[in-house]
Structure 1
Amino acid sequence: MSRLPATVARETGLSTIRLDLERGPYGWLAYSMPDRYSRLPTLAEEDEIRRDLVAATEPVEVSELERAIARLVAAYPQRGAADIRGYVIGLAEHLAGFPADVVARACWEIVHAKAFLPAVAEVVALAESYAGPRRHALRALDAVDVERERRRKVEAEQARQEDSRQRWRAAETQVLDAIAAAKPGHDAAEIFDRLGINHRIRLKLAAIGSDDDLVALVDALEVG
């Protein structure tokens, strides 16, 4: 979200927190939830983003809200006092939950774009268009922790499977070496390949577990 002009921020006394959610590597937080392809912030980055978002979603102070509404209404002097009172009450009620800079920007943009004072719902909709992405980003950050844990489990499982594959390959190499030592003059790989799958598995498990068991099994192999 861009800043209000400095003069407006100064005259209204409203803070104008700038969140560059639409820029940088984590812009997706403002409009989508994390998935397997999202670039996740580090824990330190997440804490920093969350602090900014929490500050940027704090509701406007009553005095600031009153000042912003007064400036908005003053820009449209054509309505009667009775109408204005109800309008101001409606605005105050529905804008009270928005951040100060969002209220300021919504009122400022309306004055510069509308010839007539818009309905309360239109002002609220404009404010929501600025505040909504911040609220969404906070929800997305909560989901980031879930996605980070999911990825950790996936990576741990992948590492476990890779370790198992490496041990299995090493066991086969050990079996072939044992066959070559026990059956000199024969092709160890050919002997191994002629064995049934259950026999090959048994030899590999022996290689992983006990050298003595492997030697005994290899010695018992018959070669043609």
Structure 2
Amino acid sequence: MKGIFRNDRVKELQNNRTPVKFLSGAKIVLHLMADSRSTIDPNYNIEIIERNPNYLLPIKSLGMETSHTFDGFLTYTTELDGSARSYAHLYRKGVIEAVEGSLVKAVVSKKEIPSIAFEEEILKTLPYYFEVLRRIDVQSPITIYLSFVNIKDYSMKLNQEILGVQPIQYPDENLKLSDIFIENFNNIDNVPRMMQPVFDEVWNAFGMFKSFNYDEDGNWGYGLNMKD
């Protein structure tokens, strides 16, 4: 059921079906979902987050606004024209959907995934989402899904030239990475290492064999792409 929800939302987001008016075009999409066997009531009271929304941060948050929705509670960051560029949507059924558009916004004909920033912003945000789930009493296990929407002909923008590494354009509209199953999200001591296999898959999709933001020992921030 969780995978079906993710697939349905990716299709809807491709058509810009969002809980708030949103930037058109490419999007980074993150889903955190409670296990279907969880005892969470589908109508669970999420008032504790509504009263203190600071943990429900949009990805790359620069200030935020809040709103109630039919499905739950929403925080979002807007552009000058009033369109949201990033939001985090907490569903009463124990799902967080975070969508970010400004990091992958096409500039004229330039379509690029920022190789450091997309990983960095996800890594910064995930611990807050774990705290949200704890506060509404979601029980382990949970599943994380990372997707990219409307990225046909995008390439990966490297921070550094890396010998023998040449990004390619992605040929399809959407990219859905493998799920990350977390047996106990209360005992995660290294979020970057947990996310490394999926980040590697993103780089694979753009013609490279791994994320070069990691060093050979799996430490994020020390790879060849991070060198000054």
For the criterion TM > 0.5, the same-fold answer is no
The structure that is helix-richer by fraction is 1
The structure that is strand-richer by fraction is 2
Q: Tell which structure's C-alpha radius of gyration is larger.
A: 1
